[in-house]
Every structure is written in structure tokens, then in C-alpha cells.
Structure 1
Amino acid sequence: MSNGINTIERVRSIIKRSSNIVFLGGAGVSTESNIPDFKSNKGLFQQGRSVEEIVSSSFFKKYPEEFYSFYRKHLIHENAQPNLAHQSLARLEQQGKIKAIITQNIDGLHQHAGSHIVLELHGSVHRNFCIDCDMFYGLDKILNNEETIPRCEQCEGIIKPDVVLYEERLDEDILDSAVDFISKAEILIVGGTSLSVYPAAGLIEYYRGDYFILINKAPTPYDSMANYVIHDHIGKVMSKLV
């Protein structure tokens, strides 16, 4: 493990020589775009209910109006813009270095920055489907809706965001693809995540290379496994690595 003044220069040199990099990112990537990490906000409650309860599959089915009240207020940030981390990763993809971005975030900012190969483990606020007929709707349908509960124009069914709620499983195809990219990567960069949420954190176990680079403001349970550790803001660091 390396963590010091010269670490960024060494990592930059490694990145410069590679064309097979995979990035795994968490909420810390988006907080620098002023999107709060609601999972770490222990004081975030609504009418005495916890975040985990409100953003759960059973709560959505039983209380869709309350779900959407919380969802629109806390999980949709339509005015957020890509930050230095998103922009730097998009440049690395343009240079033919990044093979895939695997994200736990649902805001779509990687695509907004120009990245194309993005695996969204927890879905996206930009995709929404009718639970009855599967008709697709964009984010505008959720935001610009006269009704509290958005309903399908085709069958009047309730529209559900394509995000993974508590009690729901991650998409197996996306997980398999993430495992494939990571297992074949020469360089694995993990950034903006405490690596405490599974199964996302467990994806690191599939990496077989020699350049596991970990960038996070605070220590993680995987620091001792990394070849290079940088405790700093992900945007600041990534902008120096491109």
C-alpha cells in the first residue's frame, strides 16, 4: 500500500500506460455535485419513518404517495451538474483507457459528463416504468406531474422509478457484467465509497490485477488490500490523474 505526496504521480504514470481501467464509484462521487449521501444522514426522517423504510419496495407498494413525496424531495436532483470526477473519467474513456464505470449512484451524471459505458448497479432516476404494462417514462414524467402518484398514460398503472429499492435485488445481468469487467481489468480505481454496502463492495474480490487504487476521504475496510491509497476528495484527485 502506498499513500503519500508522490502517490498521485506514481498512479498517474500507471494510468498513462494502461488501456484497461475500470472505475467503481459510490456516493462520494456525487456529493461533490452537491447531491447529499442520504444513507449517511442518520437524521433524515419523514413523519417518524427512517430512510430505509420509506425507500423500500414494500413501502412503495403500500404508501406510494408518501414514497413519492420523499423521493422527489431527497433523491432527484435535476439541476446537479457533473464535477471534476465525472469529467476526468469521461476524458479517460475518450482516451481509450476506461473500459467501464460501475456506479452505485442513480443520478446519471456520468452519462451527462460524456461517459458511455456505465453500469448502474442501483438503477437511475432517469428511467421509469409502469408496473402494469412496462411503458417507459423519463424523469419529466415524475417531476412534471399534476398527480402526487405518477400514472401511466396508457393503462393508468402506477409508475415506478427504475431504481433498486430496499428489499429488492440488484440486476443480475448488470452484476455479471461488472464482475466480468473487474476480473479482466489491469487497473481498478475505486473512489468515493466507504465500501460498506454489499454486494457492490464485494465486487472488489473479483479483481486479479496489481493496481488496485483506492481514493476516498475517509479510511475504508479495504485500505490494507489496495496497492495505492489516497485519502482526499475524488474530484480533486481524478483531475490530477488525467
Structure 2
Amino acid sequence: MAGDGLGNKPKSGLDSLSMGDSPAVDEAVQAPSLPTAKAVQWNRELMLNFQKALDENPAADLMSLVPASYCRAHEKVQYRELSYAAQINLRTVKELHDGLKNEPEIDLLSAFPKNYARRIRMATAVSSSKPPAIKEDIQKPNQGPSEFRTRLDIADTARIIFRLSEEAKALLAQYPGIPSNSNNAEYLLASSLKQLIWNSPKIWESPVRGVVVRGNDGIVVKVITQENEDYTEYTSLQ
């Protein structure tokens, strides 16, 4: 190949590959930065892995070499550029795609989020330039969605801080979650918690502070904003 189409002379490895039918590169578009302090290290390691794979097999599938952590960071960059409604759609499609990869014969309709229609209606109503008339005591469109649980969309992982009771484990087991990453327990836990919280009736809610839902007759779930670091606080539930 005489050149790479960008005015650069070909080198070895990546630079010497023929682009074939690959899409044209827009030089005016500046790539966004990954939202992690390890971005530079990740990029260097990824390029080294690409170079090694291409030296061994010039026809290597480079996408298969991209680690899951890199893909998740890339997704966060995507979400930052989208409206709230678009974020819901993108996340839904990704969850369905991940479920399909883990189970190719999955019934996609059964895996589709049951609360999708409600959430997308709320999101599009909020972003609409001509929202429907609302009462004064209801969250106004320019203030964002009044449903606190929609904030769960930005949470990709979850972890257990203190040991769960057997009753809590049994309740959580009823919501196995979407297998978006069967090798990552934190992702499965987050998916399970989201299903539990969305499918449980609300006891109390503040669009700013948090929400309390009833898991069953003996367990309530309290969701609070990240600013509150007192994970053992429970007096307001008594």
C-alpha cells in the first residue's frame, strides 16, 4: 500500500495494513478522552496487543482483543453525549445484545425491560419542547424526571458492603438479572438490584434525596444518593 490515505507513509504492523473497504476517516473529528486516569496506559497496552496480534496474523479480529473494561469506559463517553431518552435506548439495546451473546436463542421479548415504555415516556416528556400541562406540585420538565429510580441507569456495577441476611439473599435471588457479563459478579448484582427496585412498590420517594421500596413483608430497600456515605444508616426506616 503506497500510503494510508491520510498523507502518511506506511510503516509496519498497523500502519502498513490496507484499509480496503473501511470507512473514511474524518480528520476534523477529535476523539474524546476516556473517563479514567488509566486511559493512557490502556491505550498503550491495547496498541501493543494489536501490534503483536497483527504480527502473528495480519487478518486478526482486533475487536476481540479489546478488553471489557475498555468497552465500558467507551460506553460512558457515549452516554455523556446523549440525551436522557437516548441513554435509555442505548443501554437497553446493549443489554439485549449482551443477553443475545450469552444465550443466542434467547427470547428477546422476555428479556426486554418491563419498565421500558414508562421510562422512555417520562424521558421524552422531559426533553420535549412543548411538555404537557402539569400541576404545580409535580416535578417540572426542566428539572428532570421526578422518578428517582431512573438514576439507577447510570450505575453499571454494585458491590456488597456488609454481609446480607439469608432473607435478603433469598429476595435478591428472585431477580437473576440480565447476563450482560456472566464473568463479572458486580454487573450481575447491579442488574439484579435494578430489577428488584423497579418491581417493588414505593413506600416513600424524594426526586432529590432517594426512594424506599418494599421488597416483601419483611424487607424494605432504601436507595440514597452517593453523597451520603453512611451505609449503615437505617433510623429513618423505623
**Same fold, TM exceeding 0.5?**
no
Greater relative contact order structure (CA < 8 Å, 6+ sep): 1
- Give me the TM-score of the superposition, normalised by structure 1: 0.23
Please state which structure has a larger fraction of its residues in strand. 1
More helix by proportion, 1 or 2? 2
Q: TM-score, normalised on structure 2? A: 0.24
Q: From the CA coordinates, give the structure whose radius of gyration is larger.
A: 2
